[in-house]
């Protein structure tokens, strides 16, 4: 084999590799371009916070009690860290996981359910559906949103899409800061059990949420038990659902990755088209 033949053999031997690398590079560039376009589209939209701020006086189920938030102390001096003295400060939090706007993972009610650290990331960014219970509250302040109510919603907005996050708007959130005792009232507007079951079994939603501290209008906890024992998670004590369209928004749901966690304050927000 002469020099020219050797060079040609090397060239054509490498050509498939070059073509493969070029194809991979092109696919990577396209994917990056898609992500860049997606980010530009998202960044141009309106963001709505669906989360309450919380403190030691925040409404909470009486069985848990209020949180305590105190300055973090040095284990050596037992004095609080201070910016003037130490260059930083920190807070020690003592509270139940189900505090403020929070996530309930299946393990909260199910012995073998998954904990909050095992909920799939793809289940934390979902199409948002807002079901409005407020038209029924004038005649029934503790209305349980029914399957019939849901079908009326679908007649106007279309079928609830599979894989979505269905949130129930009741406007209870407006009492969170201004009238916390009223917020903690019982009974209160929430889900009918048949509607929760219908959403998961017939519409295939991924998760549900609501503004109250509990899922049900009664103390039977049927809806919450069904949701969590069937492998779904829920977000409780949501806010600002009246600022989000009934359909078309995206919801982002996040929480700390506590190992074997049974619940924790969450941060939820909507990206509005």
- The string of pLDDT tens digits covering residues 118-144 is 999 999 999 999 999 999 999 999 999
Return the sign of the alpha-carbon dihedral for residues 149, 124, 225, 53. Answer: negative
Q: Tell me what pLDDT residue 30 has.
A: 74
As a CATH number, domain 102-272 is: 3.50.30.50
CA 193, distance to chain mean position in Å, is 21
Q: Which two tokens stand for residue 24?
A: 């991979």
Question: Strand, helix or coil at 128?
Answer: strand
What does each C-alpha distance from 71 to 51, 66, 67, 68, 186 come to in angstroms? 24, 17, 13, 10, 34
Scored b (16 or more CB within 10 A) or e, 212-234 reads bbbbbbeeeebbbbbbbeeebbb
Residues 89-110, mean pLDDT to the nearest whole number: 98
Average pLDDT, the chain: 92
Return the sign of the alpha-carbon dihedral for residues 95, 186, 196, 131. Answer: negative
Residues 160-164, mean pLDDT to the nearest whole number: 98
Q: Which of 4-8, 10-14, 30-34, 207-211 has the lowest mean pLDDT?
A: 4-8
């Amino acid at each position: 084999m002469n020099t020219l033949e050797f060079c040609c053999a090397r060239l054509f031997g490498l050509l498939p590799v070059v073509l493969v690398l070029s194809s991979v590079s092109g696919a990577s560039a396209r994917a990056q371009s898609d992500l860049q376009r997606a980010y530009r589209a998202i960044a141009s939209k309106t963001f709505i916070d669906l989360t309450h701020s919380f403190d030691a006086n925040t409404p909470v189920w009486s069985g848990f009690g209020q949180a305590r938030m105190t300055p973090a102390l040095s284990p050596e001096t037992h004095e609080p860290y201070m910016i003037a003295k130490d260059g930083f400060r920190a807070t020690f939090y003592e509270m139940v996981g189900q505090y403020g706007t929070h996530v309930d993972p299946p393990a909260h009610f199910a012995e073998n359910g998954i904990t909050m650290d095992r909920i799939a990331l793809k289940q934390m960014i979902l199409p948002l559906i807002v079901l409005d219970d407020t038209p029924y509250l004038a005649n029934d302040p503790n209305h349980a949103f029914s399957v019939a109510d849901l079908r009326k919603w679908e007649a106007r907005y279309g079928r609830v899409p599979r894989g979505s996050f269905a949130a129930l708007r009741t406007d209870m959130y407006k009492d969170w800061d201004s009238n916390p005792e009223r917020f903690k009232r019982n009974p209160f507007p929430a889900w009918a059990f048949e509607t929760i079951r219908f959403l998961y079994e017939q519409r295939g939603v991924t998760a549900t949420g609501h503004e109250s501290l509990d899922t049900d209008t009664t103390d039977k906890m049927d809806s919450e038990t069904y949701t969590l024992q069937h492998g779904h998670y829920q977000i409780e004590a949501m806010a600002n659902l009246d600022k989000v369209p009934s359909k078309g928004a995206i919801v982002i749901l996040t929480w700390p990755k506590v190992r074997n966690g049974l619940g924790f304050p969450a941060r939820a927000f909507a990206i509005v088209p």
